[in-house]
Structure 1
Amino acid sequence: MPTPSQRLSKQARREQLLDTAMAIVRGRSTDELTLQTLAEAAGVSRPIVYDHFGTRPGLLFALYQRLEERHRSATAEALRNAVDTPEEIAGVMSAAYFACATDMPEFTAISAALKGSREMEASQREMLDAYTELMADALMRHSALGLEALRLRCVGVLGAAEAIAGELNSDRITAPVAITALADLIVGGLIAR
């Protein structure tokens, strides 16, 4: 792996900075993540960090996007390999959701740090819409609901999933309990007759 002083391509440098930023969030907190602390930890000048992210919210959003894309990708991959039954699809979605929630506990902290900005909330909304579409597409053939009704219920289930993830990340429940609860909500609420 190159040392921070070695010249990297713009994309490779961005990835290195995001890796370093994630390490700061994991090791300390989102409050400790600034463009200056990132530059120091990555061993680069502040202008390099500013060139990539512009502002602290820009950096946090880049981290959020990275985690969201990883989450959606893992879920899509799991769905491609799932047996095509409502229960199996719900179980796979639930397991993928909580695998990401436990593998990426900083996701909630980064999301919370982004609250309040209209631009960030609009972008978060676009990401939620993309995940909702993924979920609705996987369940449509197993539901008697129309597309709009199914999409709205997916939004509700994703809100419940976020609340269950909070319980899981607070060690109030175990992963198997969380997975079962979300799978039951998916089957009970989205596979309506």
Structure 2
Amino acid sequence: MTTTPTRLSKQARREQLLDTAVAIVRTQGADGLTLVTLAEKAGVSRPIAYDHFATRSGLLLALHRRLDERHRAAITRALRDAAPSAGAVARVISAAYFACATDMPELSAVSAALKGNPDMEAFQHEVTDSYADLMATALLPYSGLAPHVLRLRCVGVLGAAEALAAELNRERATDAEAVTALTDLIVGGLDTGADR
């Protein structure tokens, strides 16, 4: 008896395609990911892949968005379990930031593939805003700073985190050193500046 394959809903098919895209980037790098290779690896027709993402850039942006959402969700879960202190919250944020680099290397590869893409620039601003808001909300109970000042400091810390990640990738720092450095920067940024 032959069984007919179950037809996936549009959303379920999109998730399947994105799962396949992650696997392709993991094994072949972002250069190996095209709509054609995606269709072949996922076992679907090319028009299905094009219908979901239209262009390779559209596929890379969708994949980047998905990986970023997973990273943010991991930070949010970790923050729920953090001890209620500035240092503990800062350490959770720092550890989660650098864990992303090791747990989701595909994110860096996809980011690099999208360099120079105008849609990616807008998306990067959205990501920075989202992370800065997440950090500021988590740190607000431990800071005497006005919320907008704290948020601005969080934006600055995110820039520092990128620089520390580059040092980590160049093997000029260990994971523990990077986490400690970022934690110290975060906690140091909570100072109200009243004594200056």
TM-score, length basis structure 2: 0.90
- Does residue 188 in structure 1 map to residue 188 in structure 2? yes
Unmatched tracts of structure 2, length 5 or more: none
Deviations 1:36-89 (A, max 9, x none): 111111111110001111111110011111111111111111111111111011
Residue 66 of structure 2 aligns with which residue?
66
User: 1:166 corresponds to which letter in structure 2?
Assistant: A
1: CA distance between counterparts of 2:192 and 2:50?
49
Specify the alignment match of 2:141 in structure 1.
141
Q: Is 2:169 the counterpart of 1:161? A: no
2:84 alignment partner in structure 1: 84
Q: Quote how far apart the aligned CAs of 1:166 are.
A: 2.5
Code of the aligned partner of 2:182: L
Match in the other structure for 1:16? 16
- Residues 31-180 of structure 1 aligned to structure 2 (within 5 Å): 31-180=31-180
Q: Is the 1:139–1:191 contact (alpha carbons within 8 Å) kept by the matching residues of 2?
A: no
Q: What is the RMSD computed on CA atoms of the aligned residues?
A: 1.5
CA–CA distance in 2 between the matches of 1:43 and 1:162? 37
- Secondary structure of 2:90's counterpart equals helix
| Identity across matched positions, percent | 65
TM-score norm. by structure 1 comes to 0.91
Partners in 2 of 1:66 and 1:100 — Cα distance?
Answer: 13
Q: Contact 1:168–1:178 (CA<8 Å) still a contact in 2?
A: yes
Q: Aligned partners of 1:58 and 1:189: how far apart in 2?
A: 37
- Give per-residue Cα distances to partners, 1:132-154, cap 9 Å, x unaligned: 10100111121222222211111
2:190 and 2:49 map into 1 onto residues whose CA distance is 44
AA of the residue aligned to 1:180: T
Please report how far the alpha carbon of residue 174 of structure 1 lies from its aligned counterpart in structure 2 after TM superposition. 2.0
**What is the rounded CA distance, in whole Å, between the counterparts of 1:42 and 1:98 in structure 2?**
30
Moved more, 152-161 or 141-150: 141-150
Between the two proteins, the alignment pairs up a number of residues equal to 189
Distance 2:171 2:106 in 1: 15
- Residues 140-177 of structure 1 show CA distances to partners (whole Å, capped at 9, x for unaligned) of 12122222221111111111112222232343322211
